[in-house]
Amino acid sequence: MPSLNVPRLRQDKEGWCLPACVAMVAAYWGQPLLQADIANWERDLRPLLPQFVPYEDARQGVVERLK
């Protein structure tokens, strides 16, 4: 299986898994981003996203689509 030559970065802070992953992908595409900037972007957008989706609601939606 082929793999991508994605630069390996450590999380700048504990719990910054997503910012570190986004920074690695951005670096791979030649657009380096700071993890702090990504974390701020995520923090600013999180209130706009649904916080909790009950498991049963998500499961029901999948089951309905499979019918």
Residue 11: name the closest of 1, 2, 23, 3 by CA: 23
Residue 15 structure tokens: 């719990």
pTM, rounded to two decimals: 0.59
For residues 49 and 59, the answer to whether their CB atoms sit within 8 Å is no
CA distance 67 to 50: 26
Per domain, the residue ranges of the chain are 17-66
For residues 35 and 12, the answer to whether their CB atoms sit within 8 Å is yes
Q: What is the pLDDT along the chain (67 residues), one digit of tens a residue?
A: 677 788 889 999 998 888 899 899 999 989 989 999 988 886 776 665 565 556 566 566 555 655 5
Residue 36 structure tokens: 């702090």
CA distance 7 to 15: 19
